[in-house]
């Protein structure tokens, strides 16, 4: 459904938003996780299909070391850290063990 939403977005953005909402409802009904590549393509707040440069903005923040996705329809903000140690906090590493 996300592929269809991507195809229809230039001509019918409201229909692309509807496809995203339907795909999310189906995923919740059958408790299936949406793959990460598709999770980045919709707004969790307003269920709109996000197209960078059209209705979404991506910025990097050097002070918080994060990539910031902003939905231009509702203003919802999503942050992903990009600093070296922030994504991997496992506790002990293999270099510490004898």
pTM of the model: 0.75
Enclosing domain of residue 20? 2-81
On whether the CB atoms of residues 48 and 71 are closer than 8 A, the answer is yes
Statement: residue 97 has pLDDT above 50: no
Note whether residue 48 is domain-resident: yes
Note whether residue 94 is domain-resident: no
Report which secondary-structure segment, H or E, holds 58.
strand 56-61
Name the domain count of the chain: 1
What distance in Å separates the CA atoms of residue 2 and residue 66, rounded to the nearest whole number? 26
Statement: residue 88 has pLDDT above 90: no
Mean pLDDT of all residues in the chain? 87
Digit-coded pLDDT (tens) for 24-71 = 999 999 999 988 889 889 999 999 999 999 999 999 999 999 999 999
């Amino acid at each position: 459904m996300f592929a269809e939403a991507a195809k229809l977005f230039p001509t019918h953005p409201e229909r692309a938003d509807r496809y995203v909402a339907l795909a999310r409802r189906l995923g919740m009904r059958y408790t299936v996780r949406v793959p990460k590549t598709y999770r980045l393509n919709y707004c969790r707040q307003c269920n709109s299909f996000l197209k960078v440069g059209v209705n979404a903005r991506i910025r990097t923040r050097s002070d918080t070391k994060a990539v910031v996705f902003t939905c231009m329809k509702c203003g919802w903000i999503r942050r992903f850290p990009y600093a070296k140690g922030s994504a991997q906090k496992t506790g002990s590493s293999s270099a510490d063990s004898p």
